[in-house]
Amino acid sequence: MNVAALKEKPDRAAWLKGGQVVCSVPPRKPPGNPVRLVLLGAPGVGKGTQAELLSDRLGCCHLSTGDVFRTAKSLSESERTPALNEALEHMRRGELVPDRTVLALVTERLRCLHCRSGFSLDGFPRTLAQAEALERLLKQEGLCLSAVLNYQLPLEEIIARLAGRRTCPICKAVYHTTALPPRRDDACDHCGVKLLRREDDRPESVRVRMAAYEESTRPLIDFYRQRDLLITVAAGGTPEETFHRTMEQIGGLP
């Protein structure tokens, strides 16, 4: 394991594990105001990769609900609550986890919304009920969103991206076999462990996830447009090109 590289990367332990756990490598404090973002877009559009790049550049912590569920997968059966087991079963099939489970998980991690580095929420909210709940939570905590980034990509490209996607089981970094290969074989650049293909990137789960996106998540575009928070970003080309477009769009954020 590459310990030096691990040290550089914030470990997001407070978010991934919840409870009283603190981040051993907290995200660095940004020079200006912290940005608080929601990343929207279909599965496979590259939200996770953009969240990592935003974290490197702006310091904002990558808060992915999918990563919390994937972390919970490595717990033993006895350590998991029935709600968590149920959530993992939904996830395996590519279905959305029930709102109450997701909201309980986010509410347990409220302190991450106060992170001094700001945050980019990736994969949450995913339904109108979740978006309304987030709005209430942020109001209650005296916080507001800087922007909502809506990443867009044609369906054929999304399918190709999902087929080549690989993730690190330790730090959750996302790679792609051709577009974003790791430096060494099949191993994570940060942790050195073997990269894995996500169970829900299999074709049968991908179909279910795309349908869930169309039905439940797409309506959030209008929800945030009405609140004047929506910024649309074309997600084609390399991750760096998309990131460049992202920075151009959010460069003027307060």
* DSSP designation for 184: B
x/- string (CB under 6 A) for ligand AMP, residues 157-196? ----------------------------------------
Beta strand 230-234 pairing with 174-176 = unpaired
Scored b (16 or more CB within 10 A) or e, 89-103 reads ebbeebbbbebebbb
Between residues 31 and 46, which has the closer beta carbon with respect to ligand AMP? 46
Only segment of 10-18, 31-39, 65-73, 169-177 that touches ligand AMP (CB under 6 A): 65-73
CB of 110 to ligand AMP, least distance (A): 16
Pick the binder of ligand AMP from 49, 71, 120, 130 (CB under 6 A): 130
The 3-state secondary structure of 68-93 reads HHHHHHCCCHHHCCHHHHHHHHHHHH
Binding of residue 63 to ligand AMP (CB under 6 A): no
Task: Assign 67 to helix, strand or coil.
Answer: helix
Q: What is the C-alpha to C-alpha distance for residues 168 and 71, in angstroms, rounded to an integer?
A: 11
Residues 70-129 that bind ligand AMP (CB under 6 A): 90-91, 94-97, 102, 123-124, 126
Contacts with ligand AMP by CB under 6 A lie at 43, 64-66, 69, 90-91, 94-97, 102, 123-124, 126, 130, 200, 209
